[in-house]
Amino acid sequence: MKLLKLITKNAGRHKLRTILTVVGLALAVMAFGLIRTFIIAWYASARASAPDRLVTRHSVSIVFTLPLAYKEQLLQVDGVEDVTFGCWFGGIYVDPKNFFANFAVEHTSFLRIYPEYIVPPDQLDAFASERQAAVVGRKLADRFGWKLGDQITLTGTIYPGDWQFVIRGIYSGKTVDTDETAFLFRYDYLDERMKEESPGRAGQIGWYILKIDDPNRSAEIGSKIDARFDNSWAETKTETEKDFALSFIQMSSAIIVGLRIVSYLIIGVIFLVLANTMAMTARERISENAFMRTLGFRGYHLVGLILGESLLIALMGGLCGMLLLYVVSSGVGVALSQFFPGFEADAMTYMLTTATAILIGVAASVFPINRALRIKIVDGLRVVD
Amino acid sequence: MNAPIVKILGLFKSYYRDSLEIPVLHDINLDIPQGQFLALMGPSGSGKTTLLNLIAGIDRPTSGTLAVAGEEIGKLTEQQMAKWRSRHIGFIFQFYNLLPVLTAYENVELPLLLTSLSRKERKEHVETALSIVGLSDRMKHYPRQLSGGQEQRVAIARAVVSDPTLLLADEPTGDLDKNSAEDIMTLLARLNKEYGKTIVMVTHDPRAAEKANFVRHLDKGELQQ
Ligand SMILES: Nc1ncnc2c1ncn2[C@@H]1O[C@H](COP(=O)(O)OP(=O)(O)OP(=O)(O)O)[C@@H](O)[C@H]1O
Ligand SMILES: [Mg+2]
């Protein structure tokens, strides 16, 4: 199209204004992408969960414990192939600011049911043969510079006192979504000391993880289990690992909802920024557009000119924003890798931002186009700018 | 004299504000023969621009007939009118109406973008038009780098580049100093004499009107004899 040059020249007519608009769009696009990436990362634990794993916990709340004795009964439930358990420890390493997940697991079964935690065989053997052994995630070890054989002391919060551990294994995750920041140690170490110090709390665990033979039967198996412990001293609630992870995330769902709203507001802001620029343009070019029509240019020529300019600015903003998003999200990804495994803007986010930019480019040109086409030539020519 | 290129018969034009009718032109009858250089004079608000716009086919008469180059333009559709204008009308404005983002060359080329001329043919036309107005050395200049008189000459080059049937000028010297105005008038007179262009020019300036070979006065929407 011969008018292509005019589109780019028009977009560059007020250089400062166009640059400010593009920068505004770029920042907004980046913010939108970052929030979306953050939300996705937030749900990563749920995404990483396996469909053939159920979690059984106390029906009232995860903070209530279950008797260790349930394990044998769970194994007898039809469809349950394997059972392990975990117990939240909540220990502090030197300073509460150093927060990371640490919990006791049944060392004989836990890593069998969690094949996504990859531990070298010799380290597995070491974990099995020493009561104070701990296996930690690769990122956690990196964070504190831990090496195999290091002595670590955690100060208990739920289980009082200082607790000594020896790092005997460092696991890595099978996929980027696998959390590599957990600290796992042996339940028998915890239980043994509880028997001495407060016998009433011995033989209690936090939650069971069950491997089932058929993911399609998870609801059925879950309700069978919960029925079995109905009216017992500790009633249970069984759900898929995904629902279990989501129930944690849901605790902070208000934040997520807030973020989602903010991200939609940002789209609104992007639109207003561009629409404002295009509206100014429309006002300035009333007589110019009327003059073009006097020459014989048609409505569709003006549509092309205005839409083209709007799209051009929107796409420049979108492109700059995506570049920023790429740079910033990889930076943030490195900084937050402790908390969010796999924080990285995905292809879908880039596609969405591109689509949003195009949509906004089109939407922002509607008013100026309407204005340019509606006004009569003679009236447009009378407007002196 | 040649056959009339503009034939206006019993033409009325009113504008409507809300439901209030504002009569602007009253029973205009006018023939403009081919090759004439007509100056339209009259007080402000007498309807000169309105009449020129009607002849240019960017506005429609309320009643009466208006034929330009054998076409009764009031009967054309918007689409046909746009096409008709690009072929028959070259318009010159008081404030030049050049696009500030385009060079002199590109401004003159603009009307040719609507034709099927090749890039090379367009170049020939543009260069010819610019040489007629004496601005061959200013092709790459932007409007803000030109004087008012030069801008108006670029606008004239743009008006003639597609070789229209009729040149219409609305106070072409209204925004210029005496000398530049003189230059522009000489140029228009030359276009009329040497190139046989039919010109209708609205002006307030009696000195400008002298260059024309015919003067008509408009007063309160009526053409004086
Ligand atoms: N679009 C419009 N709507 C309403 N009234 C209009 C419109 N255009 C022109 N008029 C009126 O028509 C009358 C003639 O206007 P026109 O512009 O033709 O005058 P003119 O002779 O060109 O004046 P000037 O010498 O000041 O340019 C004026 O009273 C003007 O207010
Ligand atoms: Mg006027």
The number of the ligand 1 atom at minimal distance from the alpha carbon of A378 is 1
Answer yes or no: is pLDDT of B63 > 90: yes
Taking CB atoms and an 8 Å cutoff, what residues of chain B touch A297?
Answer: 82, 114
**Rounded CA gap, A7 and B99, in Å?**
12
Give the residue whose CA is nearest to atom 1 of ligand 1: A379
Q: Name the more confident of A218 and B154.
A: B154
B16 touches chain A (CB under 8 A): no
pLDDT of the residue at A346 = 84
| Neighbouring C-alpha atoms within 13 Å toward the C-beta of A82 | 12
Answer yes or no: is pLDDT of B207 > 90: no
pLDDT tens by residue, B32-45? 999 999 999 999 99
pLDDT tens by residue, A318-364? 999 999 999 988 888 777 766 666 677 888 889 999 999 999 999 99
To test the contact with chain A by mutation, choose from B85, B106, B160 the residue with the greatest count of A C-beta atoms within 10 A, namely B85
**DSSP collapsed to 3 states, chain A:** CCCHHHHHHHHCCCHHHHHHHHHHHHHHHHHHHHHHHHHHHHCHHHHCCCCCEEEEEECCCCCCCEECCHHHHHHHCCCEEEEEEEEECCCECCCHHHCCCEEEECCCCHHHHCCCEECCHHHHHHHHHCCCEEEEEHHHHHHHCCCCCCEEEEECCCCCCEEEEEEEEEEEECCCCCCCCCEEEEHHHHHHHHHHHCHHHCCEECEEEEEECCHHHHHHHHHHHHHHCCCCCCCEEEEEHHHHHHHHHHHCHHHHHHHHHHHHHHHHHHHHHHHHHHHHHHHHCHHHHHHHHHHCCCHHHHHHHHHHHHHHHHHHHHHHHHHHHHHHHHHHHHHCCCCCCCCCCCHHHHHHHHHHHHHHHHHHHHHHHHHHHHCCHHHHHHCCC
Which chain A residue has the Cα nearest residue B108? Answer: A295
Nearest one of B142, B200, B182 to B4, comparing CA atoms: B200
Coil, strand or helix at B218: strand
Partners of B170 in beta bridges: B202
**Rounded CA gap, A75 and A65, in Å?**
19
Q: Do the beta carbons of residue B218 and residue B224 sit within 8 Å?
A: yes
Answer yes or no: is pLDDT of B53 > 60: yes
**Rounded CA gap, A321 and A27, in Å?**
6
B96 touches chain A (CB under 8 A): no
What's the gap in Å between A371 CA and the centre of ligand 1?
A: 22
pLDDT of the residue at B65 = 92
Q: What CATH superfamily is the domain B35-60+75-223?
A: P-loop containing nucleotide triphosphate hydrolases (3.40.50.300)
Which chain B residue has the Cα nearest residue A9? Answer: B101
pLDDT of the residue at B83 = 92
Nearest one of A227, A126, A108 to A169, comparing CA atoms: A126
pLDDT of the residue at A218 = 87
Give the residue whose CA is nearest to atom 13 of ligand 1: B45
| Structure-token pair, residue A184 | 């796992």
| Structure-token pair, residue A328 | 């910033």
pLDDT of the residue at A1 = 60
* Cβ-based interface (< 8 Å): residues of A facing B: 2-3, 5-6, 9-10, 12-13, 287-288, 291-298, 376-378, 381, 384
Give the closest of A12, A295, A377 to B86, CB-based: A295
Task: Give pLDDT < 70 ranges for chain A.
Answer: 1, 45, 248, 250-252, 337-342, 385
What's the gap in Å between A371 CA and the centre of ligand 2?
A: 24
Pocket lined around ligand 1, Cβ cut-off 6 Å? A 378-379; B 15, 17, 22, 24, 42, 44-50
- Domain parsing of chain B, residue ranges: 35-60+75-223
Q: Do the beta carbons of residue B223 and residue B217 sit within 8 Å?
A: yes
Answer yes or no: is pLDDT of B128 > 60: yes
**Rounded CA gap, A242 and B194, in Å?**
88
Coil, strand or helix at B208: helix
Coil, strand or helix at B10: strand
**Rounded CA gap, A45 and A252, in Å?**
14
B58 touches chain A (CB under 8 A): yes
**Rounded CA gap, B146 and A249, in Å?**
67
pLDDT of the residue at B124 = 95
Taking CB atoms and an 8 Å cutoff, what residues of chain B touch A379?
Answer: none
- Domain parsing of chain A, residue ranges: 2-45+253-382, 60-234
pLDDT of the residue at A297 = 94
To test the contact with chain A by mutation, choose from B101, B158, B161, B175 the residue with the greatest count of A C-beta atoms within 10 A, namely B101
pLDDT of the residue at A338 = 62
Which chain A residue has the Cα nearest residue B50? Answer: A378
CB contact under 8 A, B114 and A295: yes
Partners of B7 in beta bridges: B31, B67
Phi then psi for B118, rounded to 5 degrees?
A: -75, 170
Nearest one of B153, B225, B163, B155 to B198, comparing CA atoms: B163
Nearest one of A23, A28, A22 to A264, comparing CA atoms: A28
Taking CB atoms and an 8 Å cutoff, what residues of chain B touch A384?
Answer: 95
Taking CB atoms and an 8 Å cutoff, what residues of chain B touch A294?
Answer: 56, 58, 85, 89, 91
CA distances from B129 to A282, B89, B108, B117, B149 (A): 31, 15, 8, 15, 16
pLDDT tens by residue, A173-197? 988 778 888 999 999 999 999 999 9
Calculated CA dihedral for residues A229, A235, A240, A246, nearest 10 degrees: 180
Note the pTM of the prediction, 2 decimals.
0.77
Taking CB atoms and an 8 Å cutoff, what residues of chain B touch A376?
Answer: 59
